[in-house]
Amino acid sequence: MGDNLISVNNVSVNFDYQENFISKKQKIHAVNNINIKIKKGSFFGLVGESGSGKTTLGRAILGANNISSGNVIFHDDERDYDLTNMNKQDLKEYRKKAQLIFQDPYAALSPRMTVRDIIAEPLEVMKITNSRQETDERVRDIAAKCRLNIEHLRRFPHAFSGGQRQRISIARALVSNPKFIVADESVAALDVSIQADILNLLKQLQTELNLTYLFISHDLSVVAHVCDIVAVMYLGHIVEMGPSRELFKNPKHSYTKALLSSIPSIDPEKRSEAIELKGEIPSALNPPPGCVFRTRCPNPGVDCKGGEITMGLTEVEPGHWVDQCCVL
């Protein structure tokens, strides 16, 4: 296990769904049988369709979602934490070590707290600092690292635009000195210049503070630039995973290929050469049997159409994994 920080073993997460009181209970299969290892110090990327389960998986790894089956192990220096089997004390310690930078900076920040209090809150809740002075010092320190002005600290979040708020949530996530960060669409709301700036900042903080990231994003160009490993999710499954350069240069799965072709070109005359995916994303209430992508696959094989095949990753190049049926 030596160089892995996190092992996700056969993890599934289901949610209950009931249309109304008399209809029968159904299950939303948000995350299905996922296996990943996140190396210490890596920038692990998670991309995929909206609703494919990225946030749910991220939250499961943070211990914020129930895990329906399988387990997640956090390998700390001295000991392992099994997230499916933690007592209150463990959970408290784990919270200091694993933090989330939210997807939606609007929902995340309490409107009645000053920016200083928002950033300081984790320190106070987790009783990390011993005096107000120490708290203030750490807040100012991390705020400066995230390039927030000191004058900003006295203000309330409503007076900030989206990008500024995202820096506040990054500062808040980093103030407790965590080892592992889930960054869920953390740069999606930012304009390109600040995005480049924040990505450089996250990279720099990674080396400075020894961080490991799970980086969830829709933006493949961003992921290609910052992540060392990328996993592609579709409807609760990982369909392809590998070192990012290899994966972007040599995509194997039909869904990955379609994704890469859909990146909007900056050239207005080059109107989309996207492999168009027809139809709707199937519902996680009723995922199709067999390959989950087959209802939209532009070139399904004969075997795929019937839905008889079983999903599962197979290694095609060292470290490059693809869903087995797409390889055959």
Partner 1 sequence: MSHLLEVKNLDVKFDTDEGRITAVENISLSVDQGEVLGIVGESGSGKSVTAKSIMKLNPGNTSYNEDAEIILDNENILQFTSKQDLKKIRGGKVSMIFQEPMASFAPAIKIGAQMVEQLLIHKNINKDEAKSISINMLKRVGIADAEKRFNQYAFELSGGMRQRAMIAMALSTMPKLLLADEPTTALDVTIQAQVINLIKDIIKEYQMGVIFITHDLGVIAQVADHVAVMYLGSVVEKGPVNEILKNPKHPYTKGLLQALPDINNLDAPLSPIPGNIPSPLDRPTGCVFRTRCPHHNPEGKDGKIEMKLIEVEPGHWVDQCGIQCGQNG
100 Cβ contact partners less than 8 Å away, ≥ 6 residues apart: 58, 59, 62, 64, 173, 181, 182, 184
- Residue 183 as a binder of ligand ATP (CB under 6 A): the answer is no
Stretch that binds ligand SF4, among 193-201, 260-268, 278-286, 291-299 (CB under 6 A): 291-299
Toward ligand ATP, which CB reaches closer, 16 or 78?
A: 16
Return the structure tokens found at 184.
């869920």
- Residue 193 as a binder of ligand ATP (CB under 6 A): the answer is no
- Residue 189 as a binder of partner 1 (CB under 8 A): the answer is yes
- Residue 28 as a binder of ligand SF4 (CB under 6 A): the answer is no
- Residue 134 as a binder of ligand ATP (CB under 6 A): the answer is no
Question: Identity (one letter) of the amino acid at 78?
Answer: E
- Residue 120 has what DSSP assignment? H
DSSP strand E in the chain: where?
A: 4-17, 26-39, 43-48, 69-75, 80-82, 98-101, 180-184, 212-216, 229-234, 237-243, 313-317, 320-323
Query: What gap in Å lies between CA 246 and CA 228, rounded to an integer?
Result: 10
- Residue 192 as a binder of partner 1 (CB under 8 A): the answer is yes
User: Mask: binding to ligand SF4, 232-261, rule CB under 6 A, as x and -?
Assistant: ---------------------xx-------
Stretch that binds ligand ATP, among 79-87, 109-117, 157-165, 198-206 (CB under 6 A): 157-165
Helix (H, G, I), strand (E, B), or coil: what is residue 53? coil
- How do beta strands 43-48 and 229-234 pair? parallel
Stretch that binds ligand ATP, among 19-27, 153-161, 196-204, 205-213 (CB under 6 A): 153-161
CB hemisphere CA count around 44 (13 angstroms): 24
Nearest to 10 by CA among 242, 238, 247: 238
- How do beta strands 212-216 and 43-48 pair? parallel
* Contact partner, 51, from Mg ion, ligand ATP, ligand SF4, none, Cβ < 5-8 Å per class: ligand ATP
Task: Pick one of 56, 195, 217, 254: the residue that binds ligand ATP (CB under 6 A).
Answer: 56
Q: Phi/psi at 60 (nearest 5 deg)?
A: -65, -40
Partners of 98 in the β-ladder: 180
Distances (CA, A) of 325 to 62, 77, 216, 281: 31, 38, 26, 20
Task: Pick one of 13, 101, 142, 222: the residue that binds partner 1 (CB under 8 A).
Answer: 222
- Residue 293 as a binder of ligand SF4 (CB under 6 A): the answer is yes
- Residue 284 as a binder of ligand ATP (CB under 6 A): the answer is yes
Toward ligand SF4, which CB reaches closer, 202 or 231?
A: 231
Task: Pick one of 2, 21, 22, 50: the residue that binds partner 1 (CB under 8 A).
Answer: 50
Stretch that binds ligand SF4, among 2-10, 146-154, 183-191, 300-308 (CB under 6 A): 300-308
Return the structure tokens found at 241.
């995973």
* Contact partner, 259, from ligand ATP, ligand SF4, partner 1, none, Cβ < 5-8 Å per class: partner 1
Asked whether 84 and 13 are in contact (CB, 8 A), the reply is no
The residues of the shown chain that bind ligand ATP, judged by CB under 6 A, are 15, 28, 30, 50-56, 159-163, 191, 284
The residues of the shown chain that bind partner 1, judged by CB under 8 A, are 19-20, 47-52, 55, 103-104, 106-107, 147, 149, 151, 155, 159-164, 185, 188-197, 199-200, 218-222, 224-225, 245, 248, 258-260, 262-269, 271-272, 274, 276-277, 280-283, 285
